[in-house]
Amino acid sequence: MLIKYNLLIKHKKEDKLILENYSNALGGGGDEKEIRELIYKDIKEYAKNIKIDPLGNLQGVQNKKTDKFILLTAHMDEVALIVEKIESSGLISFKSLGGFVEKILPGTNVVVGKDKIPGIIGLKSYHIMSQSERETSPTIKNLFIDIGASSDKEVNCKPGDIIYFTSKFFEQNDCYFGKAFDDRAGCSAITSILKDNEAKLSIAFSYNTQEEVGLRGGAVCAWNFENIVFNLNLEGTTCSDRDLDKNYSPSTELNKGPAITIMDRTSIANRKLLEFVCDIAEKNSIPYQFKQTVTGGTDAGYIHKTKEGIPSITLSVPVRYIHSPWGIISKYDYENYIKLAKLIVNNADKIKL
Amino acid sequence: MKFLENNIEKICKIQSITGFEDKLREEIINLTKNNIDEVISDKLGNLILHKKGYGKDKLKIMYCAHMDQIGLIVLKIEENGILKFTKIGGINPLTLYGKRVKFINKDENIYGIIGMKPPHLTEDESKVEKIDELFIDCGFKSYEEASKKIKIGDIAILDSEFLKLKNNHYSYIGFDNKAGVLTLLSLFDLLKDRKPYHDVFLVFSTQEEVGLRGAKVASFSIMPDIAIVCDVTFGDPRGNISDVKTSSGPVISKGPNYYPNLVSTIEEICTSEDIPYQIEIEARPGGTDAYITQITKSGIFSALISIPLRYMHTQVEIINLKDIYRASKIMYYLSLKEKIFEIEKLPENI
């Protein structure tokens, strides 16, 4: 028993380290090279036929004794910004790569382009703002990035370069703090599963690109595979449980376990699959919750409509302050998320769809 | 410049929120104590360093920079473990939403996130949340858990990275007024191995951000002939109210707050020593310690030398280190100059 317990502790530590590395790595829609190569390094000895498809999705298989597959998916891209124009003053105007509440941006540390030039998102000094400027939240249109240049000649980046937040992962009060848990949590879950599982069904996987700009990678990811029994889509999802305004659903709550999506803007979970997942969670005493909003969409929106149709379900870790430089997830939710995902994979051969 | 380059990060990373300036005061004493004639710390926490001059007709010149910076303070711990807070000084409320804060004066690192709603759940994007609608989330699950680590009255800063940017620009929180503090320290360094003509008093004042409080008592106790205040001014690259820019030199203010003959001398020094500078007009006194030095006791000849700064009162303020060095050069030459200005006299044959 002791040996097994130690193994569990070791796995938890490993799972955390994978998440930490993935959260700190950079990769926005269309610019997933850094995170993709990091993932590839982690999984290359555990999978076969690893390749990059035309959208940049990182795909492969782990063969078992059957030619039937469970498809694991998560997206690699995080919300980021893109350089629109270098102004003659040396300031950089930008657009968003994914959905933002734009008022979180002013006062943020960023890095720009391949050289990771440090900069900040500036906002006019409050003292010299007009009354109307003070009363309306700033939008991307009137924000800019400042790298300390005095003119455009000193700015060595180009329109189209990607801009990232620089938040570094840390643990505090049984929570993990960092950027990009949407969806590096899902990516690290797939990696953890590939490294250690007892699945009977073969595993196909796709780490997808460009989810945040409209589920682009997800639209094609399932086409390259045959004989998929079902898709487990691993995500990070909204969690607004600390808001004092009680008039709306918090979507999910921290420390109540991984969240299962019944329905969102892009898909409705397969009923049998839903029952199967809940049943596994209950039999193994893993806490879980249902996502209580129908906003947002995931790659499952395309995957379930691929070819002749693929039953799909989305399992998410709740992320407070998602789509911002600083998200918070619960350490326990994350552990239970990995545990439940592994149990689904290990029992995937038993499902009757 | 070497001295500044070696010390900027260390000085900036000592947080000195208004009323909690102690650690910065200690560090300044450590840096300077072996090369100064007198160190005075007064009842409001001001630090005064005195360097004696050799001159026969020497004056008392006070150089004054405030040590304090703006911050956040915990007001209440809620049942679910989140923290309600307010600001100390005029933090830009538009830079709070979704930001990380770091608690100060704690034995361990404690961080929190100022909560925000994600786009999926936001109805009115243009709404500016009032500070009492915001909260800090450290991941505490309950009041009990939170109150073990956080007390009401605990202070925090908006957390950001200390960055060296292009062209001698630096970005961090609190350059208002670490820029002034660094200017005075650079002046100290320039004067380290030589005696000034005049008596030089370096005043690191407290509680400027909440009403120019420290400078009032410091100038009272020194009662200098001349007060040169060093603070920051707006150098925003977009939407600024003047043409002032960072990296174009320190800013000399003109207006009724500042004694014209003193201002002229400062301009002359810049010209003769080839120090680039910029001019700012202030039609009405206010805003810096110079407001109070001018009207202390029977009045003190005052001037203001400012360091241009981008994005004042945010966690990503930007200054140019060269501007700071140049400002300290002006002060250095002023301290050596035998005859600073003629005091205006009434005509004899009227």
In this prediction, residue A45 carries a pLDDT of 97
Rg (CA), chain A: 21
Q: Give the tokens for residue B92.
A: 């830009």
Q: What is the DSSP string of B190-225?
A: HHTTS--SSEEEEEEES--TTTSHHHHHHHHHH--S
Contact A107 B314 (CB under 8 A): yes
Dihedral angle of Cα B36, B41, B46, B49, to the nearest 10 degrees: -10
In this prediction, residue B238 carries a pLDDT of 92
SS3 call for A317: strand
In this prediction, residue A247 carries a pLDDT of 73
Q: Taking the model in full, what pTM does it have? A: 0.93
Amino acid at A265: R
Equal CATH topology for A2-78+179-350 and A80-165? no
Given a cut of 90, whether residue B4 has pLDDT beyond it is yes
* Interatomic CA distance for residues B208 and B289, integer angstroms: 7
Does B131 lie at the interface with A, CB-CB under 8 angstroms? no
A92, A112, A120: best mutation site toward chain B, by most B Cβ within 10 Å?
A120
Give per-residue pLDDT as tens, A210-259: 999 999 999 999 999 999 999 999 999 999 998 766 677 889 999 999 99
B123, B314, B321, B322: best mutation site toward chain A, by most A Cβ within 10 Å?
B314
Give per-residue pLDDT as tens, B65-120: 999 999 999 999 999 999 999 999 889 999 999 999 999 989 999 999 999 988 88
Q: What are the distances in angstroms from CA B50 to CA B179, B193, B300, B306, B324?
A: 20, 15, 18, 22, 21
For A102, the closest chain B residue by CA position comes to B125
Given a cut of 80, whether residue B223 has pLDDT beyond it is yes
- Catalytic, B208? Answer yes
In this prediction, residue B120 carries a pLDDT of 86
Give per-residue pLDDT as tens, B248-277: 999 999 999 999 999 999 999 999 999 999
In this prediction, residue A3 carries a pLDDT of 53
Residue with tokens 């469970």: A70
Residue A196: CB atoms within 10 Å: 14
Q: Give the tokens for residue B10.
A: 């260390």
Interface pTM, i.e. ipTM: 0.92
Does B166 lie at the interface with A, CB-CB under 8 angstroms? yes
Q: What are the distances in angstroms from CA A159 to CA A81, A87, A107, A162, A174?
A: 11, 11, 22, 9, 41
Go through the domains of chain B in sequence order and give each one's CATH number: 2-69+173-336 (3.40.630.10), 71-158 (2.40.30.40)
Q: Give the tokens for residue A181.
A: 């848990």
SS3 call for B273: coil
Structural fold of domain A80-165: Elongation Factor Tu (Ef-tu); domain 3 (2.40.30)
- Burial label, A247 (beta-carbon count in 10 A; 0-12, 13-18, 19+): exposed
The nearest CA of chain B is from the CA of A143 a distance in Å of: 10
Rg (CA), chain B: 22
Q: Give the tokens for residue B341.
A: 């200005």
Say how many CB pairs under 8 Å bridge A and B. Answer: 212
For B110, the closest chain A residue by CA position comes to A172
Domain boundaries, chain A: 2-78+179-350, 80-165
* Interatomic CA distance for residues A138 and B129, integer angstroms: 12
From chain B, pick out residues whose CB is under 8 angstroms from the CB of A318: none
* Interatomic CA distance for residues B183 and B204, integer angstroms: 11
* Residue (of A140, A244, A253) closest to B129 by Cα position: A244
**Contact between residue B168 and residue B246 where contact means Cβ atoms under 8 Å apart:** no
The more confident residue out of B300 and A11 is: B300
From chain B, pick out residues whose CB is under 8 angstroms from the CB of A107: 92, 95, 99, 158, 160, 311, 314-316
* Interatomic CA distance for residues B173 and A46, integer angstroms: 46
Nearest to A99 among B97, B119, B126 (CB): B119
CB environment B186-214: b (16+ within 10 A), e (fewer):
bbbbbbeeeebbbbbbbbbbbbbbeebbb
In this prediction, residue A72 carries a pLDDT of 98
Range A2-78+179-350: architecture per CATH: 3-Layer(aba) Sandwich (3.40)
A79, A109, A125: best mutation site toward chain B, by most B Cβ within 10 Å?
A125
* Per-residue pLDDT tens digits of chain A, which is 353 residues long: 455 556 667 778 899 999 999 999 999 999 999 999 999 999 999 999 999 999 999 999 999 999 999 999 999 999 999 999 999 999 999 999 999 999 999 999 999 999 999 999 999 899 999 999 999 999 999 899 999 998 999 999 999 999 999 999 999 999 999 999 999 999 999 999 999 999 999 999 999 999 999 999 999 999 999 999 999 999 999 999 987 666 778 899 999 999 999 999 999 999 999 999 999 999 999 999 999 988 889 999 999 999 999 999 999 999 999 999 999 999 999 999 999 999 999 999 999 88
From chain B, pick out residues whose CB is under 8 angstroms from the CB of A106: 94-95, 314
* Residue (of B86, B101, B89, B292) closest to B176 by Cα position: B89
In this prediction, residue A301 carries a pLDDT of 94
In this prediction, residue B210 carries a pLDDT of 77
In this prediction, residue B170 carries a pLDDT of 98
In this prediction, residue A60 carries a pLDDT of 98
Mean pLDDT calculated for residue range B175-184: 97
Q: Please, which residues bridge with residue B310 across strands?
A: B318
For B161, the closest chain A residue by CA position comes to A109
Contact B316 A109 (CB under 8 A): yes
